[in-house]
């Protein structure tokens, strides 16, 4: 039996994270990392916590539908701990082959004893036992066959119906279903070899020597795919600054900007600086990168990562990139605007976004993105290049914003993005648009958008 006091087991920790995400609005990756750091759990149990948290969040809509078929009590009226205990147990029963359903049920009952009371214990036991007795009643795939296409995709692949409808209008029903299915598969991890301190081949050998399963990436010359990495920050190669963690799609942004060795480069929304640091490596620490962000804490974190990676040509500037002082305008040879967005392209990596973002929020983001694009244009020197990128799959935030910018600034020329990518990527990414929309189900990357504009 789990105790209310003392060390917590993996399921109790997972339950606390799920509650924090739903009730407190915590970001799943931050809440999970914080809990794991103070948990003292072994690697195997840490892996179980991660699987339970991310899996339950990814499949939440489907799980809730099944629970609604069996529970006399409305889910939304239950205490958050009870609701998420049921969800987590049902995730194990329905989607994990390595945990017997009876064990998942018993563990949920024990967890209810630790965090609830007699009534909640009875409810958990009753609902889960009923599901085990009547699996046909929980057959959501069969139920979906009688629904309209959008509703069926939403139920089977656990995505909000409004988001499914948005993607159907933009991508069509077949691609939307493939995209939603891909979003339920845990994404691969990629390391970006830091070419200021090593080469990809050297890093591949270094990582293989310590027992990691690694292979070259397909799209970027610095990319390394890593199977099931653990405790990355403790690796000697990480401490030595030989790599950073970055998805392949994000690596393509730096190559699209193609900064020269001695140029002045702006990163208008630098954040934690993943792309900023890649630009520095591409520039071989020559020239200057001005990294702007409104959050001083993120810029401080960028500075720490720059030190670890041996980056010396970045200047951090805490400023609002929608309203930069005149001294910064008309100077930059290269401007990167990796804009704040809805994040619909990283749902497989951050599944809590599905339940956090509402459809009306994208409208406010489009206004912000256009303010940032206007300033990005004003920062460009004659002949300068602007790269606009997001990690979302939404034409209003992506293609429509680029066309708006061009209409208001006729001296901006759209450059065909595929031709600017590394050789590795050109044969792998197809499409008939000069703008690039990467998709998880087609390219195996995050859902990333890249557009390249040249000022004449």
Rounded CA-CA distance 333/289 in Å is 11
Q: How many CB atoms lie within 10 A of CB 434?
A: 16
Handedness of CA 323, 408, 382, 368 (dihedral sign): positive
Q: Is 110 exposed, middle or buried (0-12, 13-18, 19+ CB in 10 A)?
A: middle
Candidate list 105, 341, 379, 391, residue with the active-site label = 391
- For the stretch 319-323, contacts whose Cβ atoms lie closer than 8 Å and that sit 24 or more positions apart, written own/partner, are 319/292, 319/293, 319/294, 320/294, 321/268, 321/269, 321/292, 321/293, 321/294, 321/372, 321/375, 321/376, 322/368, 322/371, 322/372, 322/375, 323/375
Q: Tell which residue, 63, 96, 62, 54, has the closest CA to residue 350.
A: 54
Rounded CA-CA distance 195/151 in Å is 47
Question: Where does 320-429 show beta strands of DSSP type E?
Answer: 332-338, 380-390, 412-415
Distances in Å between the Cα of 292 and the Cα atoms of 269, 299, 353 are 6, 8, 25
The answer to whether 96 and 58 have CB atoms below 8 angstroms apart is no
The answer to whether 323 and 372 have CB atoms below 8 angstroms apart is no
- Tell me whether residue 105 is one of the annotated catalytic residues: no
Q: Tell which residue, 396, 280, 398, has the closest CA to residue 337.
A: 398
Residues labelled catalytic: 391
């Amino acid at each position: 039996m789990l105790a209310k006091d003392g060390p917590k087991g993996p399921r109790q920790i997972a339950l606390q994270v799920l509650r924090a995400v739903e009730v407190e609005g915590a970001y799943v990756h931050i809440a999970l990392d914080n809990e794991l750091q103070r948990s003292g759990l072994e690697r195997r149990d840490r892996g179980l916590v991660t699987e339970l948290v991310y899996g339950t969040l990814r499949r939440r809509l489907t799980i809730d539908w099944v629970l609604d078929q069996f529970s006399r009590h409305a889910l939304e009226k239950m205490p958050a701990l009870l609701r998420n205990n049921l969800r987590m147990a049902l995730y194990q029963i329905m989607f994990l082959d390595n945990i017997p359903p009876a064990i998942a049920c018993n563990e949920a009952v024990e967890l209810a004893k630790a965090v609830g009371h007699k009534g909640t214990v009875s409810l958990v036991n009753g609902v889960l036992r009923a599901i085990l007795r009547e699996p046909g009643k929980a057959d959501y795939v069969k139920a979906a066959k009688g629904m309209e296409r959008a509703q069926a995709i939403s139920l089977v692949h656990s995505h909000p119906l409004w988001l499914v409808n948005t993607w159907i209008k933009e991508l069509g029903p077949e691609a939307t279903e493939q995209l939603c299915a891909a979003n339920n598969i845990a994404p691969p991890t990629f390391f970006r070899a830091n070419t200021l301190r090593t080469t990809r081949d050297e890093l591949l050998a270094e990582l293989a020597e310590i027992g990691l399963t690694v292979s070259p990436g397909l799209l970027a010359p610095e990319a390394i795919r890593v199977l099931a990495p653990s405790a990355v920050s403790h690796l000697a190669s990480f401490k030595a600054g030989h790599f950073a963690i970055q998805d392949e799609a994000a690596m393509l942004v730096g190559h699209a900007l193609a900064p020269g060795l001695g140029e002045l480069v702006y990163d208008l929304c630098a954040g934690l600086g993943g792309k900023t640091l890649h630009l520095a490596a591409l520039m071989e620490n020559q020239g200057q990168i001005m990294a702007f962000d409104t959050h001083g804490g993120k810029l401080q974190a960028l500075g720490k990562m720059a030190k670890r990676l041996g980056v010396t040509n970045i200047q951090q500037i805490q400023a609002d990139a929608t309203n930069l002082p005149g001294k910064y305008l008309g100077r930059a040879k290269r401007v990167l605007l990796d804009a704040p967005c809805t994040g619909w392209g990283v749902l497989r990596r951050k599944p809590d976004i599905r339940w956090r973002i509402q459809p009306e929020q994208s409208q406010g983001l489009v206004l912000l993105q256009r303010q940032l694009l206007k300033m990005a244009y004003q920062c460009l020197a004659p002949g300068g290049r602007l790269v606009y990128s997001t990690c979302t799959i939404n034409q209003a935030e992506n293609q429509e914003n680029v066309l708006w910018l061009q209409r208001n600034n006729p001296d901006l020329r759209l450059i065909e993005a595929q031709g600017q990518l590394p050789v590795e990527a050109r044969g792998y990414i197809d499409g008939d648009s000069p703008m690039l929309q990467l998709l998880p189900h087609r390219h195996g990357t995050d859902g990333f958008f890249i557009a390249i504009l040249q000022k004449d």
